[in-house]
Amino acid sequence: MKEEECGGGEIGSSPEAMNPVAAEEVEAAEEVAAPPNFAMVDNGVFRSGFPERTHFGFMETLGLRSVMVLVLVNVRRYLCPEPYPVENAKFLRMNGIRLFHFGIVGTKEPFVNIPEDVIREALEVVLDARNRPLLIHCKRGKHRTGCLVGCLRKLQTWCLSSIFNEYQSFAAAKARISDQMFMEKFDISSLKHLSTSLS
């Protein structure tokens, strides 16, 4: 914060000008903005859309150990993980935060399969206490993140209507039947040996 001399509180001056502490609080509040679609999933597990530099201050308050990104792009007919932005990677390195990159292609096509094996691997990372606190994100924090969280909820024995309600609260008008069908059909039997307690 730039240090400035404070006037005597003339008529028309702002409250911040009269009170330098208030100005610092306003500035600090501006620095702590949550990423889009941010929410707590469970103890030590958070979800959001893609964080940008303006969200780093907020992310610091979470005490994250890990960030999981669920983004994959189609480059000349080859699917490859989208490179994590340099600025974000630097923030993670500076804060000792581990990055887990699980490529799931973002698509609006109804018959594109969500890779079950990738969701299983991602769930194993989420359920491993050594990785928490953990932030899960994709581009908007709606579909890919919603499917992963929905499958976690299924492991936590949530009923399907509650899983779908949570999914729809983030996806809103962009909710996809194909995502909900994926969550409904997702087989959790190979993951039942893992502890779903996130406390």
Point out the residues that are catalytic. Answer: 138
Q: Which parts of the chain fold into alpha helices (H)?
A: 15-18, 20-31, 56-61, 86-94, 116-127, 143-155, 160-171, 177-185
Distance CA 166, CA 197 (A): 19
SS3 of 98, please?
A: strand
Q: Are strands 39-42 and 45-48 parallel, antiparallel or unpaired?
A: antiparallel
Lookup: tokens for 81: 């993980």
The candidate with the shortest Cα–Cα distance to 180, out of 194, 168, 193, is 168
Q: How far apart are CA 12 and CA 146, in angstroms?
A: 49
**Which among 47, 120, 59 is positioned nearest to 87, based on CA atoms?**
59
Instruction: Give the Cα separation of 188 and 149 in Å (integer).
Output: 13
